[in-house]
Chains A and B, each alone.
Chain A
């Protein structure tokens, strides 16, 4: 079955550093992958979508890479700020359906 794995351990980094989060998937080849941010008590909010033919996508301080050979996406936040502290989720469409599946998310804490 199709699976997504994100590091369930929290990631603590110092303000100003680059945070790198990993999303690994198995057993299929999605046409695209999405990243969401979720704050406590709130619903996820879309950040970026990257397609299988795109190696890298950027939006302000955010950068996403998509390696279809490794079946992995990396999510980078450069010059991190305490306001970036949240849980970050990756999501993929399941093969042949209209359903998204989500990873369990990685909690990022940026220390001032």
Chain B
């Protein structure tokens, strides 16, 4: 099993450009999450989903949108990238609430 796969692994954007990060999981998990990780800030939740067709805001949702059209995929979109969105983005999934979360390998995004 591949687990959780994130695409792309690296990306450089110019301010104002848009992009979509793709997260795919093959474990039939209900819950999926997008986090960003910045030095000294730890992992901060951007958006999450508790099932296909549902999304909800996390701690730092501004400037991001998400969609969960298929159970196995969770997309994170940046409509107009800003330098403050330079970060490492992690997707995670879990089967039920009180079990472990599986993380992808991360996407390193730089906005110049």
**How long is the Cα–Cα vector from A44 to B59 in the complex, in angstroms?**
19
Given A45, A93, A104, which contacts B97 in the complex, CB threshold below 8 Å?
A93
**How long is the Cα–Cα vector from A34 to B101 in the complex, in angstroms?**
9
B103 touches A44 (CB 8 A): yes
B33 touches A49 (CB 8 A): no
- Contact bitstring B21-63, A, C-beta under 8 A = 1, else 0: 0000000000101010000111101001010000000110000
Minimum CB–CB distance from B29 to chain A (whole Å) comes to: 12
Interface residues contributed by chain A, number (CB under 8 Å): 23
- CB closest chain-A residue, reference B106: A43
Minimum CB–CB distance from A88 to chain B (whole Å) comes to: 12
Collect the chain B residues with CB atoms within 8 Å of residue A101's CB.
Answer: 45, 59
- Which of A32, A100, A104, A105: most chain B CB closer than 10 A? A100
Chain A residues within CB distance 8 Å of chain B: 8, 31-32, 34, 41-46, 49, 51, 89, 91, 93, 98-105
Minimum CB–CB distance from A10 to chain B (whole Å) comes to: 13
Given B4, B31, B42, B98, which contacts A89 in the complex, CB threshold below 8 Å?
B42
20 cross-chain CB contacts under 8 A: A31-B98, A41-B106, A42-B105, A43-B90, A43-B103, A43-B104, A43-B105, A44-B90, A46-B102, A49-B99, A89-B43, A91-B101, A93-B97, A93-B98, A98-B50, A98-B97, A99-B33, A102-B43, A104-B40, A104-B42
